[in-house]
Homo-oligomer: A and B are copies of this chain.
Amino acid sequence: MSATTFTEPHRVVYYETDDTGHLTLAMLVNLLVLVSDDQGTDLGLDTAFVNHLGVGWVVTQYHVQVTRLPELGETVTLKTKATAYNRYFAYREYWVLDAQGQTLAYAEGIWVTMSYATRKIATIPTELMTPYGSEETTRLPRLPRPARLPQDADVRIKPYTVRYFDIDNNGHVNNAHYFDWLLDTLPADFLRQHQPTDIRIRFENEVQYGHQVTSEVVHQDHQTLHQIKVGTTIAAIATVDWTTN
């Protein structure tokens, strides 16, 4: 059996782009979650159904490879499938395609179900995976891990406070906001002149409304190493490879 693919069109509009007119990484991640949700709803697995089982889906890791970020006004196709899963982890793949069907971005995500009762990772309910035609396997693909920041590096730090509007309908901070915190530490001119080609991110601990987070970055050649911390606790680590525009 092979997992069902789901596609939907998406038009890139001005508030989804940066000042170069390209889709932001934060919005790209929003679109990955959107197409996942929409596939779930299409298969009768909407949020209400998932929550009814006492769990909620949470992403723990992404690996995103970008050929070209979509531009303002471009209509792209979002495509996904829930490729495989085991007892605790679901592996999902994504494609962003241009009008000619060329892949602009390819992403992989690791999802887990969190129990509302225990606030811990729960066994994935079978009824949440069966409709996807997802393969049950003991060996899931592993996503490349982001690198830890070197101890003696020159670290650039910016503080951010988690805002009310960073929280989405499931009561959690929308993961996409991490990308604004991560990348805003880099100089504007660098962001204008470079495009991310490979993004690895791992979410380790949840941040909450009102938390003060620090976004730390080490810049070495064509790579930036990031971490988001709340006090001394690491909330997320990420590595981004860049190319010159």
Q: Report which A residues bind B (CB closer than 8 A).
A: 13-15, 17-21, 24, 26-27, 30, 33-34, 37, 72, 163-165, 167-171, 174, 176, 180, 183-184, 186, 188, 191, 209-210
Contact = CB atoms under 8 A, between A and B. Distances in A.
A175 to B, nearest CB: 10
Nearest to A209: B188
A186 B183 CA distance: 27
Which 4 residue pairs are nearest across A and B when measured between Cβ atoms? A15-B30, A19-B167, A21-B169, A163-B184
A19 B172 CA distance: 8
Nearest to A31: B15
Nearest to A21: B169
Nearest to A71: B169
A209 B187 CA distance: 11
A165 B24 contact: yes
A228 to B, nearest CB: 15
A26 B168 CA distance: 14
A33 B19 contact: no
B184 A164 contact: yes
Contacts of A14: 33-34, 37, 168-169, 174
Contacts of A168: 14-15, 17-19
Nearest to A30: B15
Chain B CB count within 10 A is highest, among A17, A33, A163, A165, for A165
